[in-house]
């Protein structure tokens, strides 16, 4: 091999060492850069020259060293594992925070007047009233307690609905962030392809793309694959998100025309679509249960949906029935349309969401207290015939049956607002329409017709001057009944004693799914008011602790996986200093060889006057 060839070998060594020093310096400069992946210069033989042929084969000599690639030291399997774990971590983080927020709203650890106190105080005020029903002080105390009860339970209900709206805002922001990340990932796809097509190094662009994939995996469950052309294709929840340079953006659609809550859909529209938009694909499959067994409990966006739900629930809400089957369990004829089936799955999903479930169970307890007291002092009215004097009869499904001829029919709790039904008829907030003497039946289709925690107030008539006299505590004289009042003109504690007995009896059902229900027809265990509230609080605590346990487990797994991949991909200053010394010595060795060859050539040219090659 000639001296000029040897010089070329030495120069290639200097160039390779210089590139190694550059890569090492780049690593050290980014030691604190978030998401930076350590890089390494890979060297290989530049070319080999055949110099002779022997019995054992061809004898070759190398012609120098070349940089094969500047690679990232990264384990893609740890990336996949980490992104899976961080998706679950964010899902349970949102769900656990929702449970803790509900506990804070209901329990109000910082409050001196906790929610459970209003139920106890309500019962105590009824007891005091039963001891001395003629006392002005006990009557006024009862009204004051009723006011505090209404204010407290209304505040709890309103704050939970307000938190729902807060989560709805987070849903909108998360969808916006997902769209930003998908655009950025596609942008880096193009930059990487362009850079590597021209032979440049695109590792820093790859770091940016990997960081975006990490964040995207935290927001929604994704799967991805790098194609041969260096482009990464991404699917979200089984739907194509980024494919062959096309980005399918997420949009939003109103869930129900009566609420402002939205759900994510695939659409190119920049506006929020109406609830009846049918030409869009929902991001999530509501027909599939969300739990670890189905391996779909992943992503912040889904966690927000599970926490927020689709709409608020109340005591009148019922678990949706499967439209594919009739009441006997046989296949329904005709079968439901895909749209009807989708609505069923959406309602069933909402039934099991965190805040809707809490609202429904809490409202069952509140409604039972309110209607139980109202049914006592202002029973249902029946007029038979219409021209006859009215009689007042207790609801047969209520705590007991007595006739109240001297009642004032003044309910303690009224609905805040009147409402219009489907026919456009206006109904008063009171239980009876003063004009027709007809009972204003609560209608689940009209929120303002319901005695729900967010729609009750103390009767304004009781708050007026002398309103305490309207509290009905008198029973008629019934022959043979020693508890009845003579001539029905004196106060008697019979009504309140019956009410207190009702408070302590089993009047709230537990559904087969283990949640409180206002349906008294459900067979099985029945709970009283106090036990129902404890059961409700216990259930909320169990659900929250379960989410916290999953959160703790996923947090540990995510940290462990991230630490493992950082062990491989993170920059170590000690290792980089060692590599720098190796490259420096390699550069110096190549430089010395260049100097030696230069001296030799100089000696040959200037010392002998002839060039020998």
Q: pLDDT tens digit string along 154-193?
A: 999 999 999 999 999 999 999 999 999 999 999 999 999 9
> What are the tens digits of pLDDT across the range 219-273?
999 999 999 888 999 999 989 999 988 999 999 999 988 889 999 999 888 889 8
| Coil/strand/helix, residue 156 | helix
* pTM beyond 0.75: yes
State which of 102-116, 513-527, 564-578 shows the largest mean pLDDT. Answer: 564-578
Q: Are 265 and 222 in contact (CB under 8 A)?
A: no
Identify the pLDDT of residue 69.
83
pLDDT single digits (tens) 535-556: 999 999 999 999 999 999 999 9
Q: What is the pLDDT of residue 112?
A: 63
Average pLDDT, the chain: 84
Q: Which of 152-156, 572-576, 579-583, 607-611 has the highest mean pLDDT?
A: 152-156
Task: Kindly tell me if the per-residue pLDDT of 387 is higher than 70.
Answer: no
Lowest mean pLDDT among 462-466, 480-484, 560-564: 480-484
- Mean pLDDT within 341-356: 93
- Report the pLDDT value the prediction gives residue 236, as an integer from 0 to 100: 94
Which pLDDT score, from 0 to 100, does residue 12 have?
A: 83
Tell me how far apart the alpha carbons of residues 363 and 115 are, in angstroms, rounded to a whole number: 13
pLDDT at 142 over 70: yes
Does position 479 have pLDDT exceeding 60, yes or no?
no
What is the predicted pLDDT for the residue at 163?
Answer: 96
**Is residue 490's pLDDT more than 50?**
no
Phi, psi angle pair for 361, to nearest 5°? -70, -40
| From 55-64, 101-110, 192-201, 441-450, the region with the lowest mean pLDDT | 55-64
Beta strands in 18-170 (DSSP E): 39-45, 48-54, 57-62, 65-72
| Rounded alpha-carbon distances, angstroms, from residue 249 to 159, 173, 414 | 33, 14, 48
3-state DSSP call for residue 13?
helix
Chain segment 78-90, per-residue pLDDT in tens: 999 999 999 999 9
pLDDT at position 50 is: 63
Cα–Cα distances in angstroms (integers) from residue 543 to residues 242, 294, 551, in the given order: 36, 19, 12
DSSP 158-218: HHHHHHHHHHHHHHHHHHHHHHHHHHHHHHHHHHHHHHHHTT---HHHHHHHHHHHHHHHH
- The Cα–Cα gap between 395 and 391 comes to 13
pLDDT at position 480: 58
Residue 356: count of CB within 10 angstroms of its CB: 23
Radius of gyration, alpha carbons of the chain: 38
Model confidence at 557: pLDDT above 60: yes
**For residue 609, is pLDDT > 70?**
no
Neighbours of 534 (CB within 10 A): 12
- Inform me whether the pLDDT recorded for 488 exceeds 50: no
Cα–Cα distance measured from residue 486 to residue 492, given in angstroms and rounded to the nearest whole number: 10
Domain boundaries, the chain: 1-73
pLDDT of 491 above 70: no
36 band by pLDDT with thresholds 50, 70 and 90: very high
The whole-angstrom separation of Cα 136 and Cα 182 is: 69
């Amino acid at each position: 091999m000639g001296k000029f060839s040897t010089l070329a070998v030495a120069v290639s060594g200097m160039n390779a060492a210089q590139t190694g020093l550059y890569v090492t310096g780049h690593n050290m400069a980014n030691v604190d850069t978030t998401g930076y992946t350590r890089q390494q210069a890979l060297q290989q033989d530049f070319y080999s020259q055949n110099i002779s042929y022997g019995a054992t084969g061809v004898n070759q000599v190398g012609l120098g060293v070349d940089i094969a690639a500047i690679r990232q030291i990264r384990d893609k399997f740890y990336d996949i594992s980490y992104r899976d774990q961080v998706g679950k971590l964010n899902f349970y983080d949102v769900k656990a925070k929702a449970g803790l927020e509900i506990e804070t709203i209901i329990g109000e650890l910082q409050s001196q007047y906790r929610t459970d106190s209003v139920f106890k105080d309500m019962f105590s005020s009824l007891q005091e009233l039963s001891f001395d029903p003629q006392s002005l002080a006990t009557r006024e105390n009862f009204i004051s307690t009723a006011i505090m009860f209404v204010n407290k339970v209304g505040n709890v209900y309103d704050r939970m609905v307000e938190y729902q709206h807060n989560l709805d805002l987070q849903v909108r922001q998360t969808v916006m962030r997902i769209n930003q990340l998908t655009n950025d990932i596609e942008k880096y796809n193009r930059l990487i392809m362009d850079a590597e097509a021209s032979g440049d190094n695109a590792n820093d662009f790859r770091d940016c793309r990997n960081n975006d994939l990490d964040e995207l995996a935290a927001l929604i469950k994704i799967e991805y694959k790098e194609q041969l052309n260096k482009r990464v294709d991404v699917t979200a929840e089984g739907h194509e998100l980024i494919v062959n340079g096309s980005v399918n953006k997420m949009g939003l659609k109103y869930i129900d025309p009566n609420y402002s809550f939205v759900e994510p859909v695939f659409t190119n529209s920049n506006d929020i679509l109406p609830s009846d938009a049918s030409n869009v694909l929902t991001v999530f499959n509501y027909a599939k249960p969300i739990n670890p067994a189905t391996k779909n409990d992943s992503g912040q966006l889904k966690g927000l949906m599970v926490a927020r739900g689709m709409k608020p629930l109340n005591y009148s809400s019922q678990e949706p029935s499967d439209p594919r089957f009739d009441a006997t369990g046989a296949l329904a004829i005709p079968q439901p349309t895909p749209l009807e089936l989708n609505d069923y799955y959406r309602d069933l999903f909402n039934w099991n969401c965190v805040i809707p479930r809490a609202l429904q169970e809490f409202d069952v307890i509140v409604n039972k207290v309110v209607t139980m007291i109202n049914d006592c002092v202002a029973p249902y009215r029946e007029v038979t015939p219409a021209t006859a004097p009215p009689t007042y009869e207790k609801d047969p499904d209520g705590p007991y049956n007595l006739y109240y001829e001297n009642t004032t029919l003044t309910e303690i709790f009224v609905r805040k607002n009147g409402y219009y039904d489907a026919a456009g008829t206006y109904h008063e907030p009171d239980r009876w329409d003063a004009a027709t003497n007809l009972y204003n039946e609560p209608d689940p289709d009209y929120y303002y017709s319901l005695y729900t925690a967010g729609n009750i107030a103390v009767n304004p008539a009781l708050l007026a001057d002398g309103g305490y006299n309207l509290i009905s505590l008198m029973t008629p004289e019934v022959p043979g009944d020693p508890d009845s009042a003579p001539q029905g003109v004196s106060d008697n504690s019979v009504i309140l004693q019956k009410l207190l007995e009702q408070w302590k009896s089993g009047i709230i059902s537990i559904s087969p799914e283990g949640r409180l229900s206002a349906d008294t027809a459900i067979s099985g265990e029945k709970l009283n008011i106090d036990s129902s509230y404890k059961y409700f609080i216990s259930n909320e605590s169990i659900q929250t602790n379960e989410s916290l346990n999953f959160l703790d487990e996923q947090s540990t797994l995510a940290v462990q996986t991230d630490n493992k991949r950082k062990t491989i991909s993170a920059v170590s200053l000690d290792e980089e200093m060692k590599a720098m010394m190796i490259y420096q010595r390699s550069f110096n060795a190549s430089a010395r060889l260049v100097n030696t060859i230069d001296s030799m050539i100089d000696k040959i040219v200037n010392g002998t006057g002839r060039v020998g090659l």
